[in-house]
A = this chain, B = another copy of it.
Amino acid sequence: MKENIPRIVGLDQIRKILPSVDLLPAIEAGFAAYSEGRAVVPPVAELLFNDPPGDVHIKYGYLKGDAHYVIKIASGFYENPKRGLSSSDGLMLLFCQKTGRLLCLLLDEGHLTNVRTAAAGAVAAKYLAPQKANRIGIIGAGIQGKLQLLYLKSVVSCRKALVWGLHQAELEAYQEEMKTSGFDIQTTLETGEIAAACDLIVTATPSKTPLLQAGQIRKGTHITAVGSDTPEKQELDPFILQKADLIVADSLSQCLTRGEIFRAIQEKAIPKEKAVELGAVVTGKVKGRTSDDQITVADLTGVAVQDIQIAKIVYDALRD
């Protein structure tokens, strides 16, 4: 094989290799590097289309002194389902930081973005969830709602979950697909039941109105909100953030322009100084949960450093 021929990897091969990959330490290291200023992550590049509606985002960057850099191209074309295609798509390109050579093209169709988002949820739970969570609450029964639960497995011992979805059919499909997940899964159509029964809650919806209210949240609860990645989307009542003892952002700068923290600041529920960065919690610069009574919130809007880390670790695993 010629040196300048990159490795081209499809989704099937990526799915096969992922279980053998020790993803969480890589994602943690990414957040640490990001918070310590060792990551170069320029603003997202964007292309927008009107007819049919679509958007393309290019996220790219590298860790200083690392071996690789990564460019991710992700798209959403919302009329694709009419054509029998997924509305979202994506691929990652991994290059050598010493020579600029393309080493690997990961045609992951957006799956690695889903997985790195779930892995970030697990990192947040590792540092912020109550030591002995009684029940995991998942709000949102889509792909991300499934992956979040699966990736929590390695950081919490709890194996009981309550899942909220919009429709009974969606919840039945969730239970069916997750029946070998190792979790005892109950379902509900009321988000209030999640708040009442669960102390480790993940929200993973595209909602634009709050699904949980401040009055519902009990002491000792941790919430990871992963759904909101735009200025418009919102899953949590801003007063949940006011009530919280600790608010953690994956990227402080990004959470000032989108997500739950942005909305809570905008509605004057919290001052912007209240949020700390996940990487600072990972490195121990800032303490995570310090007692079982605390309410904690993690707001994950998605950072390119997660893409960089997952592309690298998958590439390394493929070479072994």
Interface class of chain A by DSSP: strand
**Contact status A77-B100, CB under 8 Å:** yes
- Give 10 CB contacts A-B under 8 Å: A42-B45, A45-B45, A45-B60, A51-B65, A52-B98, A54-B99, A58-B58, A58-B71, A75-B95, A102-B107
**Contact status A80-B100, CB under 8 Å:** yes
Contacts of A42 in B (CB 8 A): 45-47
**Contact status B97-A49, CB under 8 Å:** yes
Instruction: Count copies of this chain in the complex.
Output: 2
Contact digits for A154-192, partner B, Cβ 8 Å, 1 yes 0 no: 000000000000000000000000000000000000000
**Contact status A58-B56, CB under 8 Å:** no
6 residue pairs, one from A and one from B, having the closest CB atoms = A75-B100, A45-B45, A77-B100, A89-B100, A77-B99, A80-B99
CA distance A5 to B91 in the complex (A): 12
- Which of B62, B76, B93 interacts with A73 by CB under 8 Å? B93
| Residue A206, interface by CB 8 Å | no
* Residues in A lying within 8 Å of B, measured CB to CB: 4-6, 8, 10, 40, 42, 45-47, 49, 51-52, 54, 56, 58, 60-62, 65, 69, 71, 73, 75-77, 80, 83, 85, 89, 91, 93, 95, 97-102, 105, 107, 109
CA distance A4 to B99 in the complex (A): 30
- Which of B69, B73, B102 interacts with A71 by CB under 8 Å? B73
Contacts of A102 in B (CB 8 A): 73, 89, 91, 107
Nearest CB of chain B from residue A91's CB, rounded to whole Å: 6
Nearest CB of chain B from residue A85's CB, rounded to whole Å: 6
Contacts of A52 in B (CB 8 A): 98
CA distance A205 to B139 in the complex (A): 60
Residue in B closest to A80 when the chains form the complex, CB atoms: B99
Contacts of A5 in B (CB 8 A): 10, 107
Residue in B closest to A50 when the chains form the complex, CB atoms: B64
Contacts of A6 in B (CB 8 A): 107
- Which of B75, B80, B93, B101 interacts with A85 by CB under 8 Å? B101
Nearest CB of chain B from residue A195's CB, rounded to whole Å: 37
